[in-house]
Structure 1
Amino acid sequence: MSRTTLKDVAQAAGVSPTTVSFVVNRRADHIPESTRRRVEQAVADLGYVPSARGRALASGRSRVVVCVSPSGPAAAVVEEFKRELSDSLMAAGFTCVFLERPSDGDQFVQLWRHIDPACVVSWDALTAAELLPLERAGVATVTGLVMGGTDEDRAVDQQGVGRAQVEHLADLGHRHIAYAMPVMTREDESTARARLAGATAAARESGLADLTVSTVDLDAVDGQRAVEAWTRATPSVTAVAAYGDLQAVTILEASRRLGVRVPEDLAIIGVDDLPLGQLVFPTLSTVALDLRAAAADVAARILAVVEPAGTTVPVERRPPRVVVRESTLGAGA
């Protein structure tokens, strides 16, 4: 079956191809309403889909946003954020394409010879060498959403996440709190350090003892080692703020194996509000991230650079929300 062309639509609607082009590219302000509706009906009847290249030529720019993320497996919350961002951009008429960042910097630079996006969005900060070809091509960039940027650059207030954890534990009367860091990859490092900074500031402002900072791998033996160290310390740690729900569940299971009662002996709070947290016993308190609002904020920032004359208003970031369950307040809380 041959592809329906713009000329086919023009013939069915009884108008010129130029008129059809104006309508499908949303430049039909000067065209009578009855004519515009006739063209739109013909487009629907024939199933006409404008080519991406043709629309780019007509509008003078691409409608594709390329999002570059680090290589390797992505966490469930990252995948959810990507879906929300894609939906937000699609609502504004842009297509979002996700690429893993090549390990070879030269490959990254060469990539733009084959792709002509309206904007490149990067999870981390781009180097000067990586930015140069984009700048020369007039491609807008939004970088540092997760790693390497400032607190204002990041899609989520990571310091606020750590702060919310410690403030919750302090409100429950805990004075000696541990912070469980992950075994950091490059992707985790910036986020983990920002969360720890927020937790440290909250402990200081609440008049607590300095946080006991420990690295906890997603491993039963490592989890038990950490729990033993915390509970045997003088004075003992009575609560743990974990970098993420997976670390928190590791600590929860280690506590069960060692006979350490949660939350009576050791309260535990994670981050991400993964479904797993409601399946363990006791159920896991956590900090939930508003990924829809974060994605809408990032989409607004993208649209502000690709459509500077538009009326896009950035979305205000919402503070992280503590979800209280049994691991900090006990059964029936």
Structure 2
Amino acid sequence: MSEAEVTREGERGRRPGREAVPGERGGYERPGPRRRRKGERTVVPEAEFGSYYGRPIIKEPPWAAVDIAGYLFFGGLAGGSSALAAGAELTGRPALARAGKIGALAAISLSTAALIHDLGRPARFLNMLRVVKPTSPMSMGSWILIAYGPATGVAAVTDVTGLLLRGGTTPHTPRKGKPSRLPPLRWRSATGTGTVPRIGRAATIWAGLSGAGVASYTSVLIANTAVPAWHEAHREMPFMFVGSGTIAASGLGLLAAPVHENAPARASAVFGAVLELAAGHRMRRRLGLLAEPYRKGRGGALMRAAQALTVAGTAGAAFAAGRSRLGAALAGGALLAGSACTRFGVFEAGRASARDPHYTVAAQRSGHAPAVE
């Protein structure tokens, strides 16, 4: 307020520039947009991204990279390996099928162990099975693991040990009255004829079908959070994770299977690479500012390494893996490493976007981010 006082001698305590002058434009304007005149300076400064004392607006996920990023990677490897094993078994490639079954069992065991280690107590995982909540990715993911894990174990143990080999046949009595058993299912391949128990084959096919859910549900899980770099990528993230899981399974198949049986692994490597790279490119173009964590910092370095390894491994799978065992091994190792870098890169990008309030405010102003409580 002005403290000017009018006396007989004039105004006392007048401060130049602080009093209203008759005839000048007042401070009130009609609501609505107003065009700025040429040469007119703005009184209100441009809005800046920030928060109180530079503190993060949302809490950074407290998850350990080894646990959760490893959980994401091994889950994709397990799901992709089961699908590849089912296809290899149905097309008569026993070595590739066995590699996929064993790899899927080992990967899903490591993935579940990493998840339980992050939760702290195994009872917390069991508590998630008390209800079935379709709107909760964590609840549905827990039930997907329960439906997938036992089938993977049965498929792998049956293939390796030969258990249930005779149990897979059904007893019957022919017309002459002599008891016998139906012959087990058989396949023909370049290495000869092998026997597959029926229970093991059924478990393999079920694991292959449910493996797609295992490979993709983790993308829905992290996209259902308030982390800007994850939530805004909810459209492309499932495709990226499925492609990454396919690449990892193809790499394992190229490492373990002989050259004359790795044709499905080579074809799936090309398919997975195209899917992952296309989804990642579209995601970075659509996110705009929120794509910076995928290009800069630790997350950006991991994503660039993933792209280089994926391209190199896919090229090796397409041109060298079908001719040389060494070429197949090198291509498989590059594909596995590229898939792991993708999962760890996505994890680190999400953590970086949660730490910087700039990305949270940008997402909120765009009107697409979830409400932060």
TM-score range, shorter chain: under 0.3
- Higher relative contact order (Cα pairs below 8 Å, separated by 6+ residues): 2
Normalising by structure 1, what TM-score?
A: 0.25
- Write 1 or 2 for the structure with the bigger share of strand: 1
